[in-house]
Amino acid sequence: MKTIKVLIAVFLAWGLIGSAIADHHKKGEQSVFQATFLGAYGGETDKLVSLVEEFSEKGFEWRPAEGIRSVHEAVLHVTTANYGIGSRFLGKALPEGINPRELGKTIKNREEAIAVLKDSIQFVKEAVGSLDDAALAEPIKLFGSDSNRMGAVLVLGGHAYEHLGQLIAYARSSGVVPPWSQ
């Protein structure tokens, strides 16, 4: 009799856990991966935007040496990657009027560059937030290598960190103080 009660308790608990997991997925809640990634990505991109906003219009054209990306070009590079990777590998449709390959030709000033950077960050957040675990695990070719969509998400995070570091170095070299250091 004791064994039957234990089995009934186990099956009831299993049913409740299964129901909770199913409810979690029905409500469209984020997976642990999504919540962790989006939290980290939000923090790093908030820093990126706040730093970029510290550069003046003239400072936006600063570059460490001839042939190296300017601040403006680095910002548009991040923006292009956000839209390009988000659309190509995460399956999110590009907003109307956005052609990642043309941003360098169409975005000419600091305000426009900051606005499109912010929009591209939101684009990434929405793209990542829309993927369930099965979609994240879906195999893809990522720049010629076997990967999955989660790999593309991680590339986006690493890319943002890489260029945050680049722009911190640019800021320090050109006399701009990052806002978190003031």
Indicate whether 1 pLDDT > 80. no
Per the document, the length of the chain is 182
Percent of the chain that is helix, strand, coil (3-state, to 5): 70, 5, 25
* DSSP codes, 131-158: --HHHHH-EEEETTEEEEHHHHHHHHHH
Which residues 6+ apart lie within 8 Å of 31 measured at CB?
132, 133, 136
Mean pLDDT, rounded, of the chain: 89
pLDDT at 156: 98
Query: Residue 105 and residue 77: Cα distance in Å, rounded?
Result: 12
Are the CB atoms for 167 and 72 separated by under 8 Å?
no
Indicate whether 127 pLDDT > 60. yes
Q: What is the mean pLDDT of residues 135-147?
A: 96
Indicate whether 17 pLDDT > 90. no
Q: What is the mean pLDDT of residues 140-161?
A: 97
pLDDT at 25: 45
pLDDT at 29: 83
pLDDT at 84: 97
Query: Residue 170 and residue 70: Cα distance in Å, rounded?
Result: 9
* Domain definitions of the chain by residue range: 1-30, 31-181
pLDDT at 65: 96
Query: Residue 110 and residue 132: Cα distance in Å, rounded?
Result: 36
End-to-end CA distance of the chain: 70
Q: What is the pLDDT of residues 31-56, one digit of tens each?
A: 999 999 999 999 999 999 999 999 99
pLDDT at 28: 65
Q: Which fold has domain 31-181?
A: Four Helix Bundle (Hemerythrin (Met), subunit A) (1.20.120)
Indicate whether 7 pLDDT > 60. no
